[in-house]
Every structure is written in structure tokens, then in C-alpha cells.
């Protein structure tokens, strides 16, 4: 760490960005969001500190999948009990909880370390544009991808 600099000085300057997912490809959108959460594009990026920005994603239900993913991709998780494998096709998840698709894609691209949970808390995802009003106090800047 540079001499004479406090740890808080490196974590200051967290911006708020609004990302519109309307018509965006899921993987490319998730990579850009993950870079913002990590803070990789900032000049004061430090791998062991949380330097990333806050990201608000709107229109999550309009994200686009390429190829045959809408028919073939399946999300799986296990409860830990025998026979506890749960499988949810992405088509059903798009209808019920489209925010979870973007969240899973972004969290899969974050480094698996102690900062992951803190970075994940700075991600907010909404189905439509109506919920953007609750973040008006943070003055989020629109980000064109």
C-alpha cells in the first residue's frame, strides 16, 4: 500500500450506475457488471480491497439469451438431503424470477474469496424500471453498454 494513504482513502469514491438490460446478451452483460462490482477499471484498484461501485440493473425480464440456452440451460442446486436435487429450466425462471438469472451469472464471475459477499451486496436487480425511483437519492448514472 502506498505510504501515507489510509485504507478508507482507497475505498472512497463509490459511484452508482444504472444498467438497462433490455435486449442485452446475458453473458456480456454479466461480465461488464462484474467488472464494475470489482472495480477493475478504476485507477486505484487494489485486489485485496473492495474498490467497486454499486450497480442497479433494470429490465431484467428483457435480457436476451443466445443459441438454444432458453430450451437447454438448467439451473441445479442440492438441498444436502438424499434425493434433494432441484432442477429449474431457465425458461421457467425467466417467467417467475428473471432477477435470479442475472444474479447467478454475475456471482459466477466474481472471485471466490472473502470480498465476494460484500461485492454481491452492491448489486441490485429489478424486473422493470419502476423500482429505480427508490435509488433516486444516490443519483445513479446511466451506463451504456
Residue whose C-alpha cell is 485485496:
48
Report yes or no: 59 and 22 within 8 Å, Cβ to Cβ.
yes
Looking at residues 88-102, what average pLDDT do you find?
A: 96
What was the pLDDT predicted at 86? 96
pLDDT score, position 1: 45
* 139 CA to centre of own chain: 19
Q: So what's the pLDDT on residue 88?
A: 97
Please give the C-alpha separations between residue 102 and each of 25, 42, 72, 74, 140, in angstroms, as whole numbers.
Answer: 10, 23, 17, 14, 19
- pLDDT for res 4: 47
Query: What is the 8-class DSSP label of residue 128?
Result: S
> What value does the mean pLDDT take over residues 56-82?
96
- pLDDT for res 74: 97
pLDDT of 105 over the 80 cut: yes
Q: Give strand ranges (E) for 9-140.
A: 16-20, 54-58, 74-78, 85-89, 123-125
Give the confidence band of 144 by pLDDT, cuts at 50, 70, 90: confident
**What's the pTM value of the predicted model, to 2 decimals?**
0.88
> What per-residue confidence (pLDDT) applies to 139?
93
Cell 438497462 belongs to residue: 20
Residue 14 pLDDT? 87
pLDDT (tens digit per residue) in 7-45: 544 455 689 999 999 999 999 999 999 999 999 999 999
Amino acid at each position: 500500500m502506498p505510504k501515507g494513504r489510509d485504507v478508507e482513502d482507497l475505498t472512497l469514491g463509490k459511484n452508482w450506475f444504472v444498467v438497462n438490460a433490455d435486449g442485452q446478451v446475458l453473458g456480456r452483460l454479466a461480465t461488464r457488471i462484474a467488472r464494475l462490482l470489482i472495480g477493475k477499471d478504476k485507477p486505484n484498484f487494489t485486489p485485496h480491497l473492495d474498490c467497486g461501485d454499486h450497480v442497479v440493473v433494470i429490465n431484467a425480464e428483457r435480457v436476451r439469451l443466445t443459441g438454444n440456452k432458453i430450451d437447454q440451460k438448467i439451473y441445479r442446486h442440492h438441498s444436502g438431503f438424499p434425493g434433494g436435487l432441484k432442477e429449474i429450466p431457465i425458461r421457467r425462471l425467466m417467467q417467475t424470477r428473471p432477477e435470479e438469472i442475472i444474479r447467478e451469472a454475475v456471482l459466477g464471475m466474481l472471485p471466490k474469496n472473502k470480498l465476494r459477499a460484500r461485492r454481491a451486496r452492491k448489486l441490485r436487480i429489478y424486473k422493470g424500471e419502476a423500482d429505480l425511483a427508490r435509488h433516486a437519492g444516490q443519483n445513479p448514472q446511466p451506463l451504456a453498454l
